[in-house]
Structure 1
Amino acid sequence: MASRAGGSAARRVYLSLYNWVVFFGWAQVLYRAASALLLGSGSHEAVYAAVEQPLLLAQTAAFMEILHSILGFVKSPVSVSLSQISGRLYLTWGILWTFPEVQSHILVTSLILSWSVTEVIRYSFFGTRETFGFEPSWLLWLRYSTFLVLYPIGLLSEVGLIFVAMPSMKVTQYYASAVLTTLYVPGFPYLFRYMLAKRKKVLSAAKTA
């Protein structure tokens, strides 16, 4: 019994540190993106250059969440973690980092803003839960409501950027990207329905608590 409690405590400490570290990374992305738009040149063309380093680090760190699902550290289905994170890693490294000519596109700005706002909310939510054992109601609502707008924006930006990069791709990259893009067709409804069901369950439970 003691070993189970120790394992649970170690898991919470690890997940607390993980969530707050990645939260800080995404907060840097959001701050730098906003600064580039509001305080810098005021052009969307400067956004990617401003956020590249923390974006690459924060998004790559999300690979650990696939392992978290596999190992049972979190309750998220492996299929959900794998589909979300693999697609984002491809966009981050396979499109944004690989093709500099797309980095100044306006879709990059919408993608980065939708990703960073979503992740700042998500990681602060789970960080608060793991650290303190609860989360404020307003943060709970943001976690399970903002995706209704931000998820479609992010999805359209992702697909749009793949199409923008396609003329610069080699044949193998082109066909790989085409296959990935077709996976968005069944993938989006699956993930969106999952989040809708999760939202209904969590917010309903919060009302009766």
Structure 2
Amino acid sequence: MSRVFLIWAVKHSVKEVQNEDSVFLFVIAWTITEIIRYSFYTVSLLNHLPYIIKWARYTLFIVLYPMGVTGELLTIYAALPFVRQAGLYSISLPNKYNFSFDYYAFLTLVMISYIPLFPQLYFHTIHQRRKVLSRTEEHEKFD
């Protein structure tokens, strides 16, 4: 979901951030991650999973995940002044629906949500890595 959000609701919608280095940062992290992920899935379906692909799937995220998150946050941050100035996707009162929405505040809340969510997801993945790779190493000892 964050990828759709970042690509459409931030990068596509705020033309001024499209050439930011932060966009390059998260796109590179996402690209490498997907190449590894789908290589892992493909060779798993073929019942021939080389250890290097399993290792890459459960190790390279250590660098790629923070790199992607950094790029995402920097891109949102770069978009904030343009969102505020243009009032992008914002709805102000009064209106016939008696509803308001401030996209600037929403983006700020999205950025703040990374504080509790990122460590939780990152350490869950570290735990998964430990579990999967230690199981592989134990099997190799007996083979």
TM-score, scaled to structure 1: 0.57
Give the letter aligned to residue 162 of structure 1. I
Rounded to whole Å, the distance in 2 between the matches of 1:106 and 1:156 is: 11
User: CA offsets, 1:24-53, max 9 Å, x none?
Assistant: xxxxxxxxxxxxxxxxxxxxxxxxxxxxxx
Residues 1:117 and 2:32 aligned together = yes
Rounded to whole Å, the distance in 2 between the matches of 1:140 and 1:195 is: 14
Q: How does 1:61-76 map onto structure 2 within 5 Å?
A: none
Residues 1:90 and 2:5 aligned together = yes
Rounded to whole Å, the distance in 2 between the matches of 1:167 and 1:134 is: 50
> What is the RMSD computed on CA atoms of the aligned residues?
1.0
Name the larger-Rg structure.
Answer: 2
User: CA offsets, 1:86-128, max 9 Å, x none?
Assistant: 2222111111111111111111111111110111101110122
Rounded to whole Å, the distance in 1 between the matches of 2:55 and 2:125 is: 13
Residue 192 of structure 1 aligns with which residue?
122
Residue 166 of structure 1 is aligned with which of 80, 84, 90? 80
Residue 157 of structure 1 aligns with which residue?
71
Moved over 3 A (4+): none
Q: How does 1:3-22 map onto structure 2 within 5 Å?
A: none
Rounded to whole Å, the distance in 2 between the matches of 1:113 and 1:101 is: 20
Residues 1:135 and 2:135 aligned together = no
Quote how far apart the aligned CAs of 1:159 are: 0.5
Rounded to whole Å, the distance in 2 between the matches of 1:186 and 1:128 is: 34
Unpaired runs of 5+ residues, structure 2, are: 91-101
Residue 106 of structure 2 is aligned with which of 167, 171, 176? 176
TM-score, scaled to structure 2: 0.82
Q: Which structure shows the higher helix fraction?
A: 1
Rounded to whole Å, the distance in 2 between the matches of 1:127 and 1:160 is: 33
Q: How does 1:22-37 map onto structure 2 within 5 Å?
A: none
Unpaired runs of 5+ residues, structure 1, are: 1-85
Residue 147 of structure 1 aligns with which residue?
61
